[in-house]
Structure 1
């Protein structure tokens, strides 16, 4: 009877709120213990470009990519890059949720809001208890290919993506659903080897889906990535280097373009990255960052009739070997001020159609300079100038494009530290 009486009393106490067990620290379940870290990032900009918005979307890097500036429609969807319009731009809002699941897993979610759409940018779990330097990640995530690809826009040192990245991989880079395995070697210096098996949905270079009656659907998963990265310190200088490789099927749908075509084949992408960061004190540093990307696309290009895209005019075998790079130098004067320069180039653009060389030009360049001010670690204001002579109009005339960007990037809430 005593046992029954104590149980009844305990239940009555909980029901009527009259004992210490109702205090938050004594509850079996407290919601606050299960709340994830939450942050919200806003990115907005004011843009002044010496070319009208209705013209900029028609420009291209010949034989490489088009639609890198300005809003444009592709595959029936509107794509709006950051800083797309002259005047004011609300580029995006980024909502980040992150928490431990249990002793074995963490989970992270990154949700991207724009004025046109809402998307899951990343949503993945990560193992925490495998040991022996091994880690597994699964879900949708940004690949660790290269150096910049895995970083979110608000962590970049410039307001826009380097030319070679956006031209080869698009504004989202390699951002896929799949599985990642990484292993950190038990060595004195940092050495990490990673492999990823991904669905293969990057529309700029890869892709797996059937397009009309011209292509077949590739088997999924259709994209494979591997890399090796190492890092070491020399006094107050940290050096990080890496080699990366990606290979996958290619299905590119440009059937809605002014010169409609569809590409079906396979692609390979090679990457090398180097970052050198020297610290003068806790807040002052000099950082050099560079990446080289080289790709080969091999397949068939179906050139379509602009008046009736169900009609294939020609279907030559196409091969593209293209290489580009960027190099940037950023100096942080103190906790509040930093400035930087960046040079972008695509310097190899070898294209053959049925074995015949197609001259689309090369040496596509872009120059950028920026200065930024931080009121705190949560707010940064950047003034950037770009001079871009990599883009051509429909008549094959090179365009000298000057752009001034005033960017505001502000965040609230708890946000994990950015990678080196």
Structure 2
């Protein structure tokens, strides 16, 4: 026992003898400096919709999108849209980690937990010391296409995605693995130019994977995005504007639909966005936000036999030239109360099959109004009403759907600032 005590004393003398104890905050290594910022966001809702859940899952925007309010598979996981069910919904829990790596990089991770799946929503590193106004991001991330696409759901001003975004790009938007390069010009007015090379796995409009024996595998990366954005102030008003473009291959699988089909071709997406925000004081503001999207799809549609989806009935050449927009106005009354309205529409729906026009209708509209209360920056409660006249059933009958959503969004931990 004495030997053990002597050995312990000797080791302690070597470790501490002849030197003063250095305070933790002054040591070269302090673990706290390397701990990432961590936050957890919970989003839940109560929904009252004027149509049964099993009926709404089969509705479509004719010629544009199928089953927007139904579950779908992506990346091996089943995804249920936000606010999908009548009654109570746990939409997700979002775990966010963010930290500096060293003087040259930061790293961010966003992990999405739902009742159906756990997935990496974003995981990327970003350069911080390239200089000359340049920045590189690599990993999986939300594209900077447009204005809304890069934002996470909990920072939106409404409980659901605008109609044109969800119809063209799906509930995930352009969320891809790839490389992003941005450059801020050395000008008095903010001017940013960006380009992205992405894998191309968006299942609503793009895609690269081989589907059955109908399509070929596209070479990856298969999606390319570019944009230019600017911002400037006029007194107490800030204006943001941007133009965006995306181009990629399309491999779209609807073989499980009532009218099964597969599309293989190429697609282009054009976007323009404008945000004007006027501050009355530190907490009161008026914000107008609008985006217009136009897509051009060209390829072959393989119409399958419902009784045997390995059999192709017809394979016409199909083109789609479709456009839509959303515009919304949000009034920040004070620190606690916000209210807003939004108008969604898809106003162009030109579809051809073997050069012949196919009448799929147009002017698909949706109207929303909301009021929300913030107990703090970490907790928000929102009441929203939607009138959706954009969806049709299998018989071609329009369904006017009224929806009331009560949403609770709560976060804990280090919570970064939302985008403007």
Fold match by TM threshold 0.5: yes
> What residue in structure 2 maps to residue 286 of structure 1?
286
Match in the other structure for 2:208: 208
3-state SS of 2:33 partner: helix
1:313 aligns to 2:313 (yes or no)? yes
Q: Note the C-alpha offset of 1:418.
A: 1.5
Distance in 1, Cα, partners of 2:170 & 2:15:
58
Partner secondary structure for residue 181 of structure 2: strand
1:239-258 maps to which residues of 2 (within 5 A)? 239-258=239-258
- 2:32 is matched with 32
Provide the C-alpha distance between the structure 1 equivalents of 2:9 and 2:151, rounded to a whole number of angstroms: 56
Contact 2:191/2:231 (8 A) holds in 1: yes
Query: 1:21-170 alignment to 2 at 5 Å?
Result: 21=21, 23-72=23-72, 78-170=78-170
Q: Secondary structure at the match of 2:21?
A: helix
Q: Name the counterpart of 1:404.
A: 404
CA RMSD, 1 decimal: 1.8
Q: Is the 8 A contact 2:79 2:117 kept in 1?
A: no
Which string of whole-angstrom CA distances, capped at 9 and with x for unpartnered residues, describes residues 166-205 of structure 1?
A: 0000000000000000000111111000000000000000
> Conserved in 2, the CA contact under 8 Å of 1:13 and 1:19?
no
- TM-aligned CA distance change 1:221 to 1:18, over 3 Å: same
Which residue in 2 is equivalent to 1:302?
A: 302
SS for the counterpart of 1:25 is: helix
Looking at structure 1, the residues matched to 15 and 82 of structure 2 have their Cα atoms a distance apart, in angstroms, of 54
| Aligned counterparts of 1:402 and 1:132: Cα–Cα separation in 2 | 51
Change in CA separation of 1:221 and 1:333 when aligned onto 2, cut-off 3 Å: same
Q: 1:245 to 1:276 in 2, by over 3 A?
A: same
* Alignment partner, residue 376 of structure 2: 376
Map Cα deviations across residues 250-283 of structure 1 (whole Å, 9 max, x no partner).
0001111111100000000000000000000000
State the alpha-carbon separation in 1 of the partners of residues 150 and 73 from structure 2. Answer: 26
For the residues of structure 2 that align with 1:287 and 1:23, how far apart are their CA atoms?
Answer: 49
Partner of 2:416: 416
Is contact 1:20–1:26 with CA below 8 Å preserved after alignment?
no
Runs of 5+ in structure 1 lacking a partner?
1-7
Equivalents in 2 of 1:20, 1:65: separation in Å?
Answer: 70
Alpha-carbon contact 2:77-2:116 (below 8 Å) kept: no
Gaps of at least 5 residues in structure 2 are 1-7
Shift of 1:78: 2.9
Task: Report SS of the residue matched to 2:58.
Answer: coil
Residue 323 in structure 1 maps to residue 323 in structure 2:
yes
Q: 1:231 corresponds to which residue?
A: 231
The answer to whether the 8 Å contact 2:374/2:381 transfers is: yes
CA distance in 2, matches of 1:406, 1:157: 14
Q: CA deviation at 1:20?
A: 4.8
Superposition deviation, residue 11 in structure 1: 5.5
CA-to-partner distance for each residue in 1:335-363, whole Å, 9 max, x for gaps? 00010000000000000000011001000
**C-alpha deviation, 1:22, in angstroms:** 6.4
**8 Å Cα contact 1:75/1:253 also seen in 2:** no
Cα distance in structure 1, aligned partners of 2:255 and 2:136: 38
Checking the alignment, whether the CA contact within 8 Å between 2:74 and 2:203 is kept in structure 1 is no
Matching residue of 2:3: none
Deviation at 1:13, TM superposition (A): 4.3
Determine helix, strand or coil for the equivalent of 1:21: coil
8 Å Cα contact 2:78-2:117 kept in structure 1: no
Distance 1:368 1:106 in 2: 38
| 1:4 match | none
On the 8 A contact 1:248/1:268 being kept in 2, the answer is yes
The separation in 1 between residues aligned to 2:10 and 2:349, in whole angstroms, is 77
Of stretches 290-299 and 17-26 in structure 1, the one that deviates more from structure 2 is: 17-26
The farther-off stretch of 277-286 and 63-72 is: 63-72
Structure 1 contact 14–21 (Cα < 8 Å) conserved: no
> Can you list the C-alpha shifts for 1:28-86, whole angstroms capped at 9, x where unaligned?
43321210000000000000000000100000000000111143567985320000000
